[in-house]
Each structure stands twice: as structure tokens, then as C-alpha cells.
Structure 1
Amino acid sequence: MIDFPLLALVLGPVLLAEALLARYEVLVYTAGWRRPTTELPHGMPYARGADPDRPPEAYLVYLDGIGKRRFRDTRDGGQLVSALITAAPELRVLGQVQPYSPLADPLVNRPVWEWLRHHIAIVLFLHNVMQIFVAADHRYRPLYNRAVGAQIAEQLRRAGYQPGSGIPVVLLSYSGGAQVATGAVTELHTRLHAPLLLVTIGGFHNGANDLTHARHLHQLTSAHDRIERLSTWIFPQRWPLFRGSGWNRAIRAGKITVHRLDPATHVGQRSYINPEALLPDGRSHLDRTTDTVIALIRAHRVTPERQPRPS
């Protein structure tokens, strides 16, 4: 049986410390005291999938949920990335972006966090949860968006992306990665002039970010996803009443399309990317999510005649 008073006594100070420290990275980045990490571990490619010697149909940047703490894929996110690379060889896929670190500094590279991982693992998740709320806070949101948008742009350049080439960039995000993906749109448009397509899976975000420069956002959701639904309740910018929010302006502009992936859940044995949970048609949840994402990307292909001009 869980002793809730004891749990609160233990986690209370941790949450308070996290709330105070979560702003540290974005302020350090803004002040220019540290340069963001750009190099990857030895032998790790900047992109996988399509032949690096030929332009791909699109670049796909995967922004994982709160379990992301290293350059390499998480277990669940890695299954999705691998499935996408196998089923869509025309894509060049990047999974190394650190959505919860404005300095692009993985938690596993920090000695204190390594100790915590072995002793109080939940703190790692709390750190990334707090980063989502920093990214959503109106005081820090522009700085956070600029920092992670710049990180994504740099990783895309190192993966071979040529600014102004017209090749689409797909921001595929899971859970809290949607806060980062929606926030990166303006910075990526400024730096790369790329056609931007967003696909959120169980997206947890505050709806405040400007999506003017996104071609479209596809929202993959489920009636059984309580965590995504929570974000529509706790963030007023997601409420229809706040017509001026970035999210509601995008809805009125016809830029948001909802795709139901019932009966998927946010996490667990029936999650969107579970390879074992089966649907009536025999596909796994992972198979259906992979098929849906690829179909949406291919439907938005940009031919040379349709390539937008940089503005």
C-alpha cells in the first residue's frame, strides 16, 4: 500500500527544487554562458534512413516524450523510429534532438543525474515534466522556443539539410514533445525556410505557440488518452473561448486535422506505439501509428512545381 503522506514528504522538496532549477538551462542559453552541444557520440550518425548522398523526400525529426534523456532513442521511441525507417526508406530520420534541454545536453552526461537514475529514477521524469511547463510558461516560452528551434535547425544542417531547398521537414512528436514541436515552428521557418509539417501523437501542449508558418498539423489522438485530454483542460489557450491563441487561430485556418486512434492509451500495454497490442484488423498499435504517420507525410509531398519560395 502506498503511503501518500510519506510520498508527498519525499517528493515535495524534489518538486520544489525542480521548479527552481528548471529555468536554469534556458537562462544560461539566453545569457550565452554556455554553447549548446552539437556533437554526437562517436559513430552515431546525424540521420538514418534515406541515402545521405541523395536528397530525401523529407526529413523527419522525432521529438520524444518525457523519457528522453540521451541522444539515442528510448526503448518505445526507438521502436517507432525503426518502424518508420523500415516502412518509409525515402525519409531521413533524426531522433537525437533533446526536447527537454535548451543546451542540448543529455541528462545521462551529467554525473548528478546519473546517480539519481540509479537511486531515485522518478526524478529524471520530473525534470523533463518541469521542462515542459517552463516551455509553456509565457515568461520563458519565447526563449525556450528559440533555443530548441536552433538546436533542431543545427542538427538538420549536420544531417545534410540545405536551407531554402524546399524539402519538407516533419516534426513528429510524442506527448510533451508536442510543446517543443509547436514552439520550434517560427525559429525553423526563420533559419531554414522549410515547409513544415507537424504530427503529434498524444500531444501534451499549451496551445499558445504560433503555427502560422506550419503547413499543417495532424493530431493523432484517442478517446482513451487521459494525459492528452488533461492538457486540453489545464491550458486555457486550448479552450475554444480563447480565440486568439495560436492553437485556435490554426483551427480556424483549417490547419488542424484530428485522427482518432481508438482504443490506444497514452502509455502502457495499449499505447499508440505498443508492438504487442492488436487491433481487429490484425495490426499492432505500433503498426497502425506507423502506417498513419507515413500516409500523412506522403499525402503532403512537395513536388518541385509546388515548392514554396522562401519569404
Structure 2
Amino acid sequence: MLQFVKRLLSHLQGETLKLFGLAGILLLIWGTLAPIGTLVWWVSQSAESLGLKEEEEQKRLRSSNSASQGATGSANSKAANSKIDCYIVYLSGVGDFSTDQLLSGEKFFLDQLEQLHPNCVTVRDVFPYSAANESLGGQRLLAPLWEAIEEADGWLKNADVLIKIRNLWRFAIAADDRYGEVYGRGIATAIVDRMNAVHPVSSSPRQPINLILLGTSGGVQVALGAVPYLHDRLPARLTVVSLGGTFDGEAGFETADEVYQLKGDNDWVPILPRVVFASRWRWTIGSPFNQARQQGRYHFLESGPHEHDGDQGYFGVENINGTETTYVGLTLQKVNQLPIWSRNEKTTTP
């Protein structure tokens, strides 16, 4: 092994090694500066915008309801004609550039959930890698860089790894005790705003609304980080559904009513947090994750032969082993079978 490393370093000597070294230094600097954007956003917010004042939050919800009731000719006929008491908030993976970038499989999946559950609406425009819910194209300084990477062709297409690295730093912020609370409040604010945009949230429903945070990859950590603040702001039953998601086992587990983790047989990514984060270790019995597992609020299920992403991922449109079932179709079946769609359904531990 040592000889292999020596040969590799010898091969990379000169300008190539310098280039790799420079890239490593830039990534470290990037990671060090990553929290600054979140902190700048935080100091620019007011207590009202963050939902820290309960009276203001109630006024905000009531004003949204009044605006909806006074509007005519709504484009959303479903919202106008149905009793909506369920919100499905989708939080995408680290490879996404913006909320406008949903894959065809993701769109199909969310469209089908709405059709299967007419009392639910889907919220698709929360970008989990920005506390301000701002896509990479909306960031003035680096917008040209992100847009160029997104539109690159050929071998330059591999530069999209920079987007993943950038979003992974945001995942790290969401899992960091120092910045996670700030980031979680920002995402919770974005979720409430976009929920109201899709269909106004009642400030005093007869029963708690059914709020389902459905995420994949790093979006699950972000969703869990927002759970405590959504609990404070909304009269809701909070469920988190992870499709190959990664999370630290701390944030959100003390507050979420239920957490479901679906993992594909060929997806190795969700295994990494089990090793990296101490809260996920079985013997840390006092961690929020293990407490939720012991209380029956955390449920692990195998989703099938899914990979983490791609044509055979959870939203892949390829057929499974020559059958008529697609990978996204199988994901839809598994999620639709979860006992989360009615408040009267009894949750059982698989």
C-alpha cells in the first residue's frame, strides 16, 4: 500500500500535484467561509420574519388565509375546490442547482402523490442548500460560475462536482451545533412561506395539519433541522420521509412525530452517517436518534434495488430488470404504503 502511494505521488509530481494541492486549499477556505452567508442572512432578519413572535405568526397566517379567500379565478383549482389538510414538502439532493431543476422522475413522483391523495398539495420550491431559499443562480457574486457549470457540456460537465461540494458544505452547516439552529430556522421560514404560497395554512385548524417533509440525500438533514421550528410555528403533525437520505441523528428526532428511512439495496451513501456520526451508533442509547428508535418513532425500510441516484435511483425512470415497473414507480409504491396519509392510521414498526 505504501509503495502504491509513493508511485501515485511520483506520478502526480510537478504541476499536477500543485494543482491538486491548490484545489485542496481552496476547498478548505471555501468550507471555512461557508457559514458566513448563513450568518449574514440571520442578522438581516427580524423576529417577526423568523416566527419568533407567536402573535405575529398568527397574524401572518390569517392574512394569507384572507388573501386566498378574497382572490377569484385561482389557477390552482385543486386548492380552491378541495379541503387541503396535508402538505408534502420536497427537499432535493446535493446535486441540485435550484428548485427549477427537478428531474422528470421527481416531477412524476410528486404529481402521482397529489393524484393519489387529493387532500394533499406538494411544495416543490424550497431550496434546502440556502437559508434564504435562494438558488445558486440567484447569488449575485457567484451566479455566473454556477450557471456556467450547470450549462457545461462534454468533459466540462464533470465540473458539476463543485455544485455538490458547495451543497455538501451547507449540509455540514445544517448538522453543525454552532450554525444548525440558524440554518434550521431559515429553512423553516422558507417552508412556511412556500406552503402558504401553494395553499394558505390555517391558523386554527380543527385538527393538526399533516405535514410531510420528504427528502433525499442531504435534504433529509436539512428537513430534520427545520422540524423543531416548524413544530413551534405550525399546528401540524410532522413526519419526515427519507429516500436514501443522510442525517446526523441529532436534529429533529426529539420533535418529529415519525421518521421513515427508505434505503435501496445498492445505495451505500446512507451507510456513511452510521459510521461518521456518534449519535447513530447503537451504543449511544441516549442520543435523539436511538431514543426515537426505542420509542418506535423511527422506522427503517428497504425500498428495493435502488442506487443513490441516476437511472436506477429512487427517481429513476428505467425499468427494473426488464419488468414493467420503473425505479421511481417502486419508490412511489413504497411511500404510498406508509401509514402517514391519514391521521387515523396507526403506525407500526416494520
- TM-score normalised according to structure 1 size: 0.84
**Cα offsets for 1:131-179 (capped at 9, x unmatched):** 0011111111122112211221222233312144222010001111110
Secondary structure of the structure 2 residue equivalent to 1:121: helix
1:49 offset after TM fit, Å?
8.8
Q: In terms of mean alpha carbon deviation, does 51-60 or 249-258 score higher?
A: 51-60
Note the 1:163-242 alignment, pairs <5 A.
163-165=203-205, 166-242=208-284
Name which of 78, 91, 94 aligns with 2:107.
Answer: 78
| Residue 288 of structure 2 corresponds to residue 246 of structure 1 | yes
Partner residue in 1 for 2:155: none
Report if the CA contact (8 A) 2:96-2:163 is conserved: no
1:182 offset after TM fit, Å?
1.1
The amino acid of 1:152's aligned partner reads: I
Report if the CA contact (8 A) 1:58-1:169 is conserved: yes
- Work out the CA distance in 2 between the residues paired with 1:80 and 1:110: 29
Name which of 84, 106, 129 aligns with 2:168.
Answer: 129
**Cα offsets for 1:176-211 (capped at 9, x unmatched):** 111011111111110002011111000111111132
- Check 1:124–1:194 CA distance in 2 against 1; reply closer, same or farther (3 A cut): same
1:234 offset after TM fit, Å?
0.9
- Check 1:18–1:62 CA distance in 2 against 1; reply closer, same or farther (3 A cut): same
1:87 offset after TM fit, Å?
4.1
5+ long unaligned stretches in structure 2: 1-10, 51-74, 150-158
Report if the CA contact (8 A) 2:137-2:144 is conserved: no
Name which of 128, 139, 145 aligns with 1:110.
Answer: 139
- Work out the CA distance in 1 between the residues paired with 2:277 and 2:248: 5
**Cα offsets for 1:268-287 (capped at 9, x unmatched):** 33212111131576311100
Report if the CA contact (8 A) 1:18-1:126 is conserved: no
The amino acid of 1:63's aligned partner reads: L
Percent identical: 26
The amino acid of 2:342's aligned partner reads: R
Report if the CA contact (8 A) 2:94-2:164 is conserved: yes
Q: In terms of mean alpha carbon deviation, does 250-259 or 268-277 score higher?
A: 268-277
Report if the CA contact (8 A) 1:173-1:199 is conserved: yes
Partner residue in 1 for 2:35: 23
Partner residue in 2 for 1:69: 97
Note the 1:50-65 alignment, pairs <5 A.
50-65=78-93
- Check 1:113–1:50 CA distance in 2 against 1; reply closer, same or farther (3 A cut): farther
- Check 1:280–1:163 CA distance in 2 against 1; reply closer, same or farther (3 A cut): farther
Report if the CA contact (8 A) 1:205-1:231 is conserved: yes
Secondary structure of the structure 1 residue equivalent to 2:37: helix
Structure number with greater Rg is 2
Note the 1:254-265 alignment, pairs <5 A.
254-265=296-307
Partner residue in 1 for 2:53: none
**Cα offsets for 1:28-63 (capped at 9, x unmatched):** 132226989xxxxxxxxxx97943443225110001
Partner residue in 1 for 2:188: 149
- Work out the CA distance in 2 between the residues paired with 1:87 and 1:201: 19
- Work out the CA distance in 2 between the residues paired with 1:193 and 1:263: 37
Partner residue in 1 for 2:24: 12
| Residue 346 of structure 2 corresponds to residue 302 of structure 1 | no
Partner residue in 2 for 1:161: 201
- Check 1:163–1:231 CA distance in 2 against 1; reply closer, same or farther (3 A cut): farther
- TM-score normalised according to structure 2 size: 0.75
1:5 offset after TM fit, Å?
4.0
Partner residue in 1 for 2:129: 100
